[in-house]
Structure 1
Amino acid sequence: MNYNNPAKSLYEFLYKAHKISSGHSNFQRTWSSIFKIKENDTYSLFENYQALVDLYKKTRVLIMESKHDLLSLPKKIEKNEKTLDLIKLGLTTLNFEGDMSKFHKHITSEVLVSLDHLADEIDYIYEIKDSEIDQEQIDSYLEQVDSLLSDILESSLPTDIRVTIHRNLSSIRNALINYHFYGIDGLHTALEQNIGSLYLNQEEFKSQMHNSSVGGFIRIVNNLKAALETITVGKTLTDPLIKHLLKQ
């Protein structure tokens, strides 16, 4: 799955919603299932649905601003606008107590087929590379982060270090959970923030490198950094301090 292409991610979500629901299906239950959150977690549902709408907005910009012949011929523009407008109509009704009737009224099988073709054309025109971090890897990183978050709570580390590590791990966790929305860019931003935090607090970290939680945190940042740098050519993350800390 190419999570670096918003249209691909958008298609995946809409296809799943279309497949598992009917017009009579409960709105909140359907989307909670797709986003893999608790049905009564309205706050998370709202956040995830907003991220879904953001995918639509990014997709629309990529399609409508392209000057490539695949997307800019008059008849093609008209067809694309119709597809995008129908998707917008299907997504703009946010009624947690309602059903999926408006979604199915506007986002039909034909609209999904058109969106799928548009996603392929975006891949080609913008030369978007496939994501090389699959769900199994995401789940593995999440497991490591969750385990370390639990360890930090019971750690004997100074409070300021515990708070710093917990905050940074939480940002990585959020980027991993939302990878299907924001892809490599979301992870890259989280890691930049983590590395910046390491530099700001390097003396405190150096004095605590004997602690397994600190070492585990540094290794998670370094491993994710290495994984991203094999994918995002030209986006090298500064790393001398991480290498130095790992030698402590």
Structure 2
Amino acid sequence: MDRRWLLCGLVAALMAPMVVLWGGVQWTAHAPRAFNHVTQTISELVARDAPGRAAVSALFVIYNGLLAAFGLALRDLAGGQGPAGGHGEQAGDRVVALAALGVLLLAAPMDPVGAPRSPIGLVHTSIAGMMAVVATGAALSGGRWLGHEPGMAAYARLSQATVALMILFGALTLAGSWLELLGLMERLLTGAFEVWLGVVAVGLYRAVGETRAGEGAREQAAHGRSQVADGG
């Protein structure tokens, strides 16, 4: 596996908030009122009547492609490492599943605020809930795997903290509608996952590089000893 595929996770983590911010700017430029990131959800940027919906949706498709690439790289890296590696493979599978759900979410846009509930709108809400659960599960499985990897204890602790924060912010998101903080709580929920995604992607990229450098040094040393023995 080319370890550069792991950096897709970092690119995705950086891309997500930029797409949301850019989508808010597009909304504000074309709608009669400014987009409010504290009270409005991310899904409103891709609702059926949202200004700039096509462009924002296209960027989120790219994001989900990067997410899927990272998940596959994660699964490949953890493969063949015994029971602990199984947790890493599970984390990779969940990241890929999250990306697939993200694409399905775009195909089932939310209903415009104030409009009657439609079947597609209900599907959108259901998928959004599933995505929160799957993302939390990915961080949980990733933490279980990283806890058994040499030098990755800090990333395992980050994973545990991420799971706790996502559960907390998930609960607050459910209460956010009547607190008029729904948008803020949702961004804290997704932000916790994006931080985990980016930091773990960089950590794994560096760890793989160090491991391969060490293996290369050992091979060179063994080759040097072999040449000395042959010369003797």
TM-score with structure 2 length normalisation? 0.36
